Amino acid sequence: MYVPRHFAPTDEDVRQLLHHHGAADLITVTEDGLQATLLPFVYDPEAGAHGSLIGHMARNNEQWKLPPTGRAMVIVRGPDAYVTPTWYPSKVEHHRQVPTWNYITAHVHGDLVVHDDPAWVEDQVRRLTDKHEAAAVTPWSVDDAPAPYIQGQLRAIVGVELSITRVEAKFKLSQNRSQTDISGVVHGLRTRGQGLDDAVADAVQAHRPSRPGDVGEAPVQP
């Protein structure tokens, strides 16, 4: 991954992304070519030397049956949004500005392990459910459904675990702009208010360089 120094996150930024992301793309290279599935994962920082992403997929999905050639990768994403140059106050000075895209992403590399084990899969499903039901006023629990029904559902899926070997991450959030341009981006995103604009505005504000001297007017790279 190409990561200019302006957009390099801290280790804590990456940990927070892995803890709080939604679904991510599991990508493997096999003898039958590239395979990819969008899956929700739970990050387990205590598993292995660098943590693991644990998830599950349909038993009928061919991807888990095809041995990877080498390591696998999970592409994790945070919020993203289009940024128009009209939000930059500096545009009125020289007009040397172009549109760009702000985003958060991480390429998580590791060894893929398949868990065709009902107990492991049930534990993963419970952890995943607890993660996403935590904010609900009345959280749903696996135990709300009849046990025979749950056991039938568990037989239809298999567990997958990416044992992490390294993570490449990029938080591209206007850090290479001037302070006034960053303020313009935050204001523009909040005013437009479409899709993930508010979440991106929060991220831009949170990752604003602390001093004006920390930013330059480097070209905006994709």
DSSP helix/strand/coil, 132 = helix
**Domain that residue 143 falls in:** 5-82+100-176
CATH number at residue 123: 2.30.110.10
User: Domain for residue 218, yes or no?
Assistant: no
In a domain, 190, yes or no: no
Q: Give a yes or no: residue 92 inside a domain.
A: no
| Residue 67 belongs to some domain of the structure | yes
For 154, residues 6+ apart whose C-beta sits below 8 A from its C-beta are 118, 121, 122, 125
Domain annotation covers residue 151: yes
Residue 211's pLDDT is 62
Over residues 161-172, the pLDDT tens digits come to: 999 999 999 999
> Tokens in use for 2?
């190409």
pLDDT per residue as tens digits for the range 93-113: 777 789 999 999 999 999 999
Q: Do the beta carbons of residue 133 and residue 141 sit within 8 Å?
A: yes
The per-residue pLDDT for range 116-165, each reduced to its tens digit, is 999 999 999 999 999 999 999 999 999 999 999 999 999 999 999 999 99
Residue 140 lies in a domain: yes
Count of domains observed in the chain: 1
